[in-house]
Amino acid sequence: MDPDNPVVKLCVDGMQAEMQGRPAEARDAFLRAWAARADAFDACIAAHYVARHQETAEESYRWNAEALAQADAVGDERVRGFYPSLYLNLGHSCELLGDRAAAARYYELAEARLADVPEGPYGDVVRHGVAEGRRRLGTTRDAPEGTPR
């Protein structure tokens, strides 16, 4: 991602506010990022973060679905590594809404794209989230014997 992109800068500001325990400031930064979007790529990023600060599961789902729709609209490799996280978040939203079948489908989609997530802390969070979602739903595939879990 381009660190000079105004939407990315606002989302970084929002993440810093979030980590410092200032959720209202984080939400404001993410909403300003949404307002500043210039294209589907920007909209995907902003919607992904706006979804984190919604008061209801329905609104979180709506913003997570918007982030996925915008990623689909980008149509190039810039969003390839986002899909596992987008699917993970949609799975979690569906789980909170009680739609276990949809949640399982999104967790499976996320798992299928995990190779697109870079190694490191971000990738570890996404991989862990997918594994936990599948575990909660009881949809974890058994590993072949001798394969570490």
Q: Is residue 112 scored above 80 in pLDDT? A: yes
71-89 tens-digit pLDDT: 999 989 999 999 999 999 9
Question: Is residue 61 in some structural domain?
Answer: no
**Burial class of residue 140 in the structure, from the number of CB atoms within 10 Å of its CB (0-12 exposed, 13-18 middle, 19+ buried):** middle
Question: Is residue 64 in some structural domain?
Answer: no
Question: Is residue 145 in some structural domain?
Answer: no
Residues 93, 42 share a domain? no
- Considering only CA atoms, which of 102, 109, 73, 67 is closest in space to residue 88? 109
Q: Is residue 141 scored above 70 in pLDDT? A: no
Residues 82, 50 share a domain? no
Question: Is residue 4 in some structural domain?
Answer: yes
pLDDT reported for residue 35: 97
Q: Could you tell me if 90 and 113 are in contact, meaning their C-beta atoms sit under 8 angstroms apart? A: no
* Rounded mean pLDDT, 130-143: 84
Structural domain count, the chain: 2
Question: Is residue 42 in some structural domain?
Answer: yes
113-136 tens-digit pLDDT: 999 998 999 999 999 999 999 999
**Reported confidence tier of residue 1, pLDDT bands at 50, 70, 90:** confident
Residues 134, 90 share a domain? yes
Residues 135, 82 share a domain? yes
Residues 136, 80 share a domain? yes
**Burial class of residue 106 in the structure, from the number of CB atoms within 10 Å of its CB (0-12 exposed, 13-18 middle, 19+ buried):** buried
57-66 tens-digit pLDDT: 999 999 999 9
- What contacts 1, CB < 8 A, 6 or more positions away? 8, 45
Cα→Cα distances 79→15, 16, 29, 92, 145, Å: 19, 23, 21, 20, 35
Specify whether the backbone of 138 is left (phi greater than 0), alpha (psi in -120 to 50) or beta: left
6-55 tens-digit pLDDT: 999 999 999 999 999 999 999 999 999 999 999 999 999 999 999 999 99
Question: Is residue 44 in some structural domain?
Answer: yes
Distance from chain centroid for Cα 126? 8
Residues 47, 4 share a domain? yes
Instruction: For residue 5, give its domain range.
Output: 1-54
pLDDT reported for residue 139: 86
